[in-house]
């Protein structure tokens, strides 16, 4: 078990060793570790070495000059200057929040960025401002469209954070596939079969082999046999809003997260794309009124009749409960992750 | 088979007989028949008698004064004055488009409205303005949250329309349940079982009985056994954006479409809620650039490798193809629908 503070100090030093400013390194670390706290282990400190390898390969600029390249009062396109998504996205959220203060809402499409950790962290940045936060990103292509065999979409997540008053905030953070890639990685490590409906073979047959992607298979969009066109449609919207609006790479051209894979040829844009937004709740009705009704909405759902032995949860409940536990009890890391962190310590002459 | 024009003239006369102005009746008819054209038979002229019955019950105001009750440059809340959703929603879309012209985007939450037909029609209204259109609505509660037994959500659709250049526009229009209610109605008429994952019994067991809702059962959120929390989360976002932002009824308080069911007691708001938006693509990059890349996006997906005997479709393809057919060949109506229309003709002394 490692304490949050221990991991925070180490990750911050790694980012500073890559050349990030102290402020950017703190921001990137807070964002990265939000994944470990919220139980999305695949997107947290386990990925720190991946970011370092991208930096080693010259694909990450540790000192990006993030700038608005096109805008209206409530919209903008931002160039992330090849920065860490972990730094670019929170800074862009702050621009969206500023736009929302002035125009009621702010919607920003981002090009030339990199993987930004968990979408939920960015959406939640709007909450203290009594705003609804919105975060989406495209990602390395692993998913086939309905009826298709080629891998054309990432697991393209959507996160929406909505403030309540006395109740915990409503926080939806979901991949547009049946299962997030991180869940597949867990089954790979445990050598357990995947449920039907998560993946297909390279010929489009159902598969339960968690290693199927290495054989040319693909992940499947949310919705299952009769409704995967819905997950495919949502994943496509994420791709278009994140990259066709901004001028980032889309579809099969999205750069891979792993540095050992080559960049796709003939890119159609720059880097990876995100779409981030903030909307003032008092752009619609007084914030205290809205938040009182959110409390009522949440209580109505939470107190509704559940199946025997089950509970009706509100989006964000599981992550909040894990987060409280891990802040107190510490964060468990798998041996391969500890090995990676020790390698990073050696590389940068740090102590883990 | 009935021609589009024949059905248009008749429906318009019915709406005028209810007291709608000629202009509003035309708008309502165009919106209603968009469902018949696009193959969503459940939401089209088959529902005309349902709207008339709501009007008979005093739940629809044929001469609404639609007004903005709260606003910022890019957001607003609109009171639909108990109007037909078929009239309120297109007029609100036009307000959203106007806001987008000035502020880059416009997002409007609507209270005190009624059922608005298919969401896709409203989203598509933004397309000729080189804008992305967005339409959502809450609806009569038929859906249980994950792990739950109570019916707390409607099939709460999301429609997103994105303009392309030479390719047909990208139009996603989806319920946030595994299957739209209309698909269940088709199985009821054909007396065929429903696929597993569409519905559950009142005790939460899997069911294939298409009449299960009459026995206290519920529809299930998009996502299936391992991921229905995603459909539940999306349906919840639709409910909150449409009704908690605007001050409409949410969750179990949403008024039923059928006039023979009583209105829920102790309402938490006014009428049904919608959330409608428009976003200028040139709020992000020049429109011609965006649309050229949309063509490339669409062609890339359409021409990708498909399973044997299948085609990779773009969201909106099936509805567009049906629409072209039906405009030429006419629209087939089921006998019970024809009987309803004949009843309406008699009621209002019209000829069907």
pLDDT digits (tens, 9 = 90+) for B137-159: 999 999 999 999 999 999 999 99
A193: three-class secondary structure by DSSP = coil
Structure tokens at B90: 């297109």
Structure tokens at B195: 């696929």
Q: Where are the alpha helices (DSSP H) in chain A?
A: 4-17, 22-37, 48-56, 85-103, 119-124, 181-190, 228-239, 287-302, 317-329, 335-347
Q: Are A138 and A247 in contact (CB under 8 A)?
A: no
Contact B307 A244 (CB under 8 A): no
Query: In this predicted structure, what is the pLDDT of residue B316?
Result: 98
Contacts of residue A157 in chain B, CB cutoff 8 Å? none
Chains A, B: CB contacts under 8 A, how many?
A: 253
Query: In this predicted structure, what is the pLDDT of residue B38?
Result: 97
Q: How high is the mean pLDDT in each 10-residue block of chain A (352 residues)?
A: 97 98 98 97 94 96 98 98 98 98 98 97 98 98 97 98 98 94 83 92 95 94 92 98 98 93 95 98 98 98 97 98 97 95 98 95
pLDDT digits (tens, 9 = 90+) for B222-271: 998 889 999 999 999 999 999 999 999 999 999 998 888 899 999 999 99
Query: For the CA atoms of A95, A97, A99, A103, what is the dihedral angle to 10 degrees?
Result: 170
B80: three-class secondary structure by DSSP = coil
DSSP-derived letter for residue A241 is: I
Chain A CA closest to residue B143: A301
DSSP-derived letter for residue B8 is: H
How far apart are alpha carbons B292 and B317 in whole angstroms?
19
Task: Give the number of other CB atoms < 10 A from CB of residue A321.
Answer: 14
How far apart are alpha carbons B282 and B231 in whole angstroms?
31
Task: Examine the pLDDT at B186 and tell me if it is beyond 90.
Answer: no
DSSP letters for B241-264: IIIITTT---GGGSPPSSTTSPPP
Contacts of residue A223 in chain B, CB cutoff 8 Å? 178, 222-224
Query: In this predicted structure, what is the pLDDT of residue A253?
Result: 98
B40: three-class secondary structure by DSSP = coil
How far apart are alpha carbons B307 and A200 in whole angstroms?
11
Q: Are B301 and A251 in contact (CB under 8 A)?
A: yes
Structure tokens at A246: 């901004």
Contacts of residue B134 in chain A, CB cutoff 8 Å? none
Contact A315 B233 (CB under 8 A): yes
pLDDT digits (tens, 9 = 90+) for B12-24: 999 999 999 999 9
Angstrom CA distances, B151 to A298, A314, B203, stand at 15, 15, 12
Q: Looking up tokens 């009007």, which residue turns up?
A: B55
Start-to-end CA distance of chain B, whole Å, equals 13
CB within 8 A of A237, min separation 6: which ones? B160, B162, B172
Contact B239 A297 (CB under 8 A): yes
Best CA proximity match to B33, nearest among B53, B62, B65, B3:
B3
How far apart are alpha carbons B244 and B58 in whole angstroms?
25
How far apart are alpha carbons A335 and A341 in whole angstroms?
10
Q: Are B37 and B326 in contact (CB under 8 A)?
A: yes
Structure tokens at B318: 């099936």
Structure tokens at A340: 């990676």
How far apart are alpha carbons A208 and B294 in whole angstroms?
34
Which residues, listed in sequence order, are joined to residue A111 by a DSSP beta bridge?
A79
If you count them, how many residues does chain A have? 352
Sheet strand arrangement including B218-219: B206-207, B199-200, B218-219
Structure tokens at B59: 């739940």
Contact A236 B285 (CB under 8 A): no
Task: Give the number of other CB atoms < 10 A from CB of residue A310.
Answer: 12
CA distance B175 to chain A (A): 8
How far apart are alpha carbons B145 and B252 in whole angstroms?
12
Structure tokens at B81: 């004055």
Contact B223 A178 (CB under 8 A): yes
Query: In this predicted structure, what is the pLDDT of residue B259?
Result: 87
Q: Looking up tokens 């269940």, which residue turns up?
A: B184
Kindly report each contact of residues B64-68 with a partner whose C-beta sits within 8 Å and lies 24 or more positions away, as own/partner: B64/B88, B66/B91, B66/B92, B68/B95
How far apart are alpha carbons B199 and B142 in whole angstroms?
10
Query: In this predicted structure, what is the pLDDT of residue A15?
Result: 98
Contact B222 A230 (CB under 8 A): yes
Chain A CA closest to residue B301: A152
Contacts of residue A268 in chain B, CB cutoff 8 Å? 293, 296
Chain A CA closest to residue B161: A237
Measured in degrees and rounded to the nearest 5, phi and psi for residue B155 equal: -80, 5
B300: three-class secondary structure by DSSP = helix
**Residue among A195, A250, A310 whose CB faces B297 most closely:** A250
Q: Above pLDDT 90, what percent of chain B?
A: 93
CA distance A163 to chain B (A): 11
Query: In this predicted structure, what is the pLDDT of residue A225?
Result: 82
Which residues, listed in sequence order, are joined to residue A144 by a DSSP beta bridge?
none
The C-alpha R_g of chain A, in whole angstroms, comes to 20
How far apart are alpha carbons A332 and A50 in whole angstroms?
19
CA distance B122 to chain A (A): 17
Best CA proximity match to B153, nearest among B280, B61, B253:
B253
Query: In this predicted structure, what is the pLDDT of residue B83?
Result: 98
A334: three-class secondary structure by DSSP = coil
Q: Are B176 and B160 in contact (CB under 8 A)?
A: no
Contacts of residue A227 in chain B, CB cutoff 8 Å? 178-179, 222
Angstrom CA distances, B65 to A13, B173, B244, stand at 61, 28, 22
Contacts of residue A245 in chain B, CB cutoff 8 Å? 281, 284-285, 290
What is the separation of C-alpha B243 from the centre of its chain, rounded to a whole number of angstroms?
Answer: 15
Query: In this predicted structure, what is the pLDDT of residue B238?
Result: 98
Sorting pLDDT into bands at 50, 70 and 90, what band is B287?
very high
Contact A244 B297 (CB under 8 A): yes
User: If DSSP states are collapsed to H, E and C, what string results for A114-155?
Assistant: CCCCCHHHHHHCCHHHCEEEEEEECCCCCECCCCECCCCECC
Angstrom CA distances, A150 to A106, A143, A269, A329, stand at 35, 8, 20, 43
CA distance A336 to chain B (A): 28
**Residue among B74, B307, B313 whose CB faces A104 most closely:** B74
Query: In this predicted structure, what is the pLDDT of residue A181?
Result: 82
Angstrom CA distances, B177 to A308, B81, B118, B155, B219, stand at 22, 29, 15, 6, 7
**Residue among B149, B160, B178 whose CB faces A307 most closely:** B149
């Amino acid at each position: 078990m490692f304490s949050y503070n221990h991991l925070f100090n180490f990750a911050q030093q790694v980012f500073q060793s890559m050349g990030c400013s102290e402020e950017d390194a703190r921001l990137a670390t807070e964002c990265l570790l939000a994944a470990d706290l919220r139980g999305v282990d695949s997107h947290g400190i386990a990925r720190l070495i991946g970011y370092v390898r991208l930096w080693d390969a010259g694909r990450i600029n540790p000192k990006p000059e993030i700038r608005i390249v096109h805008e209206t009062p409530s919209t903008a396109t931002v160039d992330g200057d090849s920065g860490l998504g972990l730094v670019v996205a929170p800074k862009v959220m702050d621009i969206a929040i500023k736009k929302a203060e002035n125009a009621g809402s702010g919607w920003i499409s981002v090009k030339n960025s990199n993987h930004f950790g968990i979408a939920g962290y960015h959406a939640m940045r709007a909450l203290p401002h009594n705003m609804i936060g919105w975060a989406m990103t495209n990602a390395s292509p692993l998913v086939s469209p309905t009826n298709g065999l080629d891998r054309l979409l990432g697991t393209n997540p959507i996160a929406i954070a909505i403030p309540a008053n006395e109740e915990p905030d409503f926080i939806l953070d979901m991949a547009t596939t049946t299962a997030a890639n991180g869940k597949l990685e867990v089954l790979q490590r445990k050598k357990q079969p995947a449920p039907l409906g998560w993946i297909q073979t390279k010929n489009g047959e159902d598969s339960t082999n968690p290693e199927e992607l290495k054989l040319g298979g693909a992940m499947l969009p949310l919705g299952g046999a009769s409704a995967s066109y819905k997950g495919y449609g949502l994943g496509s919207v994420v791709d278009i809003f994140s990259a066709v609006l901004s001028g980032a790479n889309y579809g099969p051209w999205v750069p891979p997260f792993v540095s050992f894979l080559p960049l796709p040829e003939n890119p159609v844009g720059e880097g990876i794309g995100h779409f981030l937004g903030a909307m003032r709740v008092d752009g619609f009705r007084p914030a205290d009124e809205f938040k009182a009704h959110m409390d009522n909405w949440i209580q109505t759902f939470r107190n509704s009749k559940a199946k025997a032995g089950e509970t009706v949860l509100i989006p964000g409940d599981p992550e909040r409960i894990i987060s409280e536990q891990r802040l107190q009890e510490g964060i468990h890391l798998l041996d391969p992750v500890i090995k990676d962190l020790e390698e990073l310590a050696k590389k940068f002459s740090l102590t883990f």
